[in-house]
Homo-oligomer: A and B are copies of this chain.
Amino acid sequence: MNKFNIIGEALPNIPWEEKPENHHAPVWRHSQNPVIKRNPVNGVSRIFNSAVVPYEGKYIGVFRAELVNGRPHLHLGWSEDALKWDIDENRIEFVDENGDPYQPNYAYDPRLLKVEDTYYIIWCTDFYGAAIGVAKTKDFKEFVRLENPFLPFNRNGVLFPRRINGNYVMLSRPSDSGHTPFGDIFLSESPDLTFWGKHRHVMSKGGDGWWQAVKIGGGPAPIETSEGWLMFYHGVTGTCNGLVYSMGSVILDLENPSKVKYRSKNFVLTPEEWYEEKGFVDNVIFPCATLTDADTGRIAIYYGAADTYVGVAYTTVDEIIKYTIENHEDIADDNELGK
């Protein structure tokens, strides 16, 4: 019997592999990674940092497609098993709230999730610099771009899968106009997805370990569990030859998610395999989505690898929450509320 539970729907056809024997870490890789390789479809050089959801018994995804001109846009993809993907050669065409065509100058690092009866895409868009873009769809045919929730400069917008105390809640990572040598995670609320406020600091970079010393940023939409909101995020460290992106785990308070309950002091996945170590940007693991099965507690994590591939990793709600609690660390500023 499980100690911790996912609060959500069953997903019997979730991709899954059991944990390998003698594997100590709480997260393990899909054996046939990467699930999306270079040149996946005509005109697209690399796909990575992408998000998937269950849809009508199968799967649909929004993919960061780096085109053969080096510029990123968002492409749809479809899959029976969430492992083998058919990617659209054409980018998603958006309309604005008046129904007029709207196309971002670039779009990258999408998150995708369902809130109530609507699917939302949150991505990094161009608003005189990097900022958060939001669009909604009910049918994956019409995509309506909403107002930008925040001023620039910002990245890693992550919407929660339900309203909390009546408001939509979004995490983001204020940044600068370049490669941003700093960054903490903040939270904002909205009654209507147009106007945002009640901004709170959630988590700081830093801690006793060095893997998240430079900056951190939200990852997949948080998973509601019996212990709190389980979130995977990326933490970045610096080296003489550039940045290294690993994945961490944190549990936020269910009703007040700007409050950190437990935050793992250790990464739970770090670049080790050839497709994580080498690519367009070496040494990057960048999680953007999860699939979850509430019946079994299984979690499949979708992550970008080396800005070149999509990888899948697995854990269970029991395994990751137990690990996060047993290895948790209180990091300065994480729980200074209300500032």
Chain A residues with a Cβ under 8 A of chain B: 96, 126-129, 147-154, 172, 174, 176-177, 182, 184, 186, 188-192, 194-199, 201, 204, 333, 338-339
Alpha-carbon separation in the docked complex, A147 to B339 (Å)? 9
Residue of A154, A196, A198 with most partner-chain B CB within 10 A: A196
B190 in contact with A339 (CB, 8 Å): no
Q: Which residues of B contact A127 (CB under 8 A)?
A: 199, 201, 339
Whether the pair B194, A194 counts as a contact (CB closer than 8 A) is no
Q: When the two chains form their complex, are residues A199 and B151 in contact, meaning their CB atoms are under 8 A apart?
A: yes
Contact (A196, B196) CB under 8 Å given A151-B188, A177-B176, A339-B127: yes
* A151 and B177 contact, CB distance less than 8 A: no
Chain multiplicity (copies) = 2
Known interface pairs A128-B339, A151-B172, A333-B128; A196-B198 also in contact (CB < 8 Å): no
The reply to whether B153 and A174 form a contact with Cβ atoms under 8 Å apart is: yes
CA of A184 to CA of B338 in the docked complex: distance in angstroms?
A: 29
What B residues does A153 contact at CB under 8 A?
153, 174, 176
Q: Determine the residue in chain B with the shortest Cβ distance to A132.
A: B151
16 contacts between A and B (CB under 8 A): A126-B339, A128-B184, A128-B186, A128-B333, A147-B198, A150-B150, A151-B151, A151-B154, A151-B172, A151-B188, A153-B174, A189-B195, A190-B195, A194-B197, A196-B196, A196-B197
Residue of B nearest to A167 (CB): B195
- Name the residue in A96, A126, A198 with the highest tally of chain B Cβ atoms < 10 Å from its Cβ: A198
Q: Write the nearest CB–CB distance from A323 to chain B, whole angstroms.
A: 28
The residue on B at minimum CB distance from A100 is B338
Q: Per DSSP, are chain A's interface residues mostly helix, strand or loop, or mixed?
A: loop
Question: Chain B: which residue is nearest A182 at the CB level?
Answer: B177
Which 7 pairs between the two chains have the least Cβ-Cβ distance?
A: A195-B195, A195-B197, A176-B176, A194-B197, A151-B174, A128-B201, A152-B174
A182 surroundings in chain B (CB, below 8 A)? 177
- 5 new A-B contacts, CB < 8 A, other than A128-B184, A196-B196, are A96-B338, A128-B201, A147-B198, A148-B197, A150-B151
In the bound complex, residues from chain B placing their C-beta under 8 Å from that of A197 are: 147-149, 190, 194-196
| A127-B201, A176-B177, A177-B176 given; A195·B191 CB < 8 A | yes
Min distance, Cβ A22 to any Cβ of chain B, angstroms: 42
Q: Name the B residues within 8 Å of A333 (CB-CB).
A: 128
CB distance from A11 to the nearest CB of B (A): 34
Among residues of B, the one whose C-beta sits closest to the C-beta of A128 is: B201
A149 to B150, CA, bound (A): 10
CB distance from A220 to the nearest CB of B (A): 21
* Distance, CA A172 to CA B153, complexed state (A): 13
Which residue of chain B lies nearest to A129 when distances are taken between CB atoms in the complex? Answer: B174
Contact A194 B184 (CB under 8 A): no
User: Please, which residue of chain B has its CB at the minimum distance from the CB of A190?
Assistant: B195
Partner of A147, one of B149, B174, B199, B204: B199
Shortest Cβ distance from A192 into B: residue? B195
Q: In angstroms, how far is the closest chain B Cβ from the Cβ of A149?
A: 7
For A338, the chain B residues whose CB sits under 8 A away are 96
Q: How far is the CA of A60 from the CA of B255 in the complex (A)?
A: 43
CB distance from A339 to the nearest CB of B (A): 6
Taking a contact as CB atoms under 8 Å apart, the answer to whether A148 and B199 are in contact is yes
